[in-house]
Amino acid sequence: MKTACITGASSGIGRELAVALSNNGYRLILVARNSQALYELAKKLKTRCLVIPCDLANEEACMELAKKLSTYRIDILINNAGFGDIGNFHETKLETDLDMIDVNIKATHILTKELLPRFIKRNSGYIMNVASSAGLLPGGPYMATYYATKSYVVSLTGAIYHELKAQGSKVHICALCPGPVDTNFNNVAHVKFTLPGITAKACARYALKCMFKKKLIIIPTKTMKLASHSARFVPRKLMLAMTAKQQVKKMG
């Protein structure tokens, strides 16, 4: 039986990824700060689960987690944990920004960096880094830190993808870049999406389907695919202005 590890598994996309993988026979290692939610989820899943409560905003805790995970044979690693915030950059709290960088960037970087060599040695396995359609744009006024963190994830994932290909490795890495998804992210980030969101269940199923097909960038909806593609041909300043307009609507 194969094993998948999912961070941020307590709710939203992470939870639905856990359900889908369990239904497909994977043993699971569930990681999040909310231990109660993880244990409740583990009871409902069809396969064996190991629950590891961890505050991914804590670098030392991330390093300990990586060390612990290295003792298991993990076939799929999903770096899903992340959160956002909204407001003028000079007005949002520095503490929140730094926690966001720790969770969205450093935790993903640490776990990928520490576990990838084991995947390469076995010459098999999948790593999915959950980014956002925000990571495909030049920037996000009023969500500056969040957009920047997701751009980092997309860039890092693409670089590693090419390195693996150049080595002839069978290990696959990909970035999930959804648009609006109906999850608790909205409440944490204090935003209200102006575009209709897809369900976390639909997003998770599509993400896994594309991952197993070895897609690099996974964008769940046709609308977001078109928007992301079109953004390449829009002047940067205009794109920033258009993004800002959408962000202002979210504050409503």
The CA distance from 141 to 25, in Å, is 42
Q: One of 26, 126, 146, 147 is an active-site residue; which one?
A: 146
pLDDT digits (tens, 9 = 90+) for 2-57: 999 999 999 999 999 999 999 999 999 999 999 999 999 999 999 999 999 999 99
Q: Are 177 and 228 in contact (CB under 8 A)?
A: yes
Query: What's the domain range around 143?
Result: 3-251
In this prediction the pTM is 0.91
The total domain count for the chain is 1
The answer for residues whose C-beta is within 8 angstroms of residue 221's C-beta and 6 or more apart is 178, 179, 198
When pLDDT is cut at 50, 70 and 90, the band that residue 189 belongs to is very low
Position 186 pLDDT exceeds 60: no
Question: How far apart are the C-alpha atoms of 71 and 227, rounded to whole Å?
Answer: 42
Residue-level pLDDT at 234? 85
CATH number of domain containing 207: 3.40.50.720
Q: Is 146 a catalytic residue?
A: yes
Pairing state between β 76-79 and 3-7: parallel
Concatenated DSSP letters of 94-133: HHHHHHHHIIIIIIHHHHHHHHHHHHHHHT--EEEEE--G
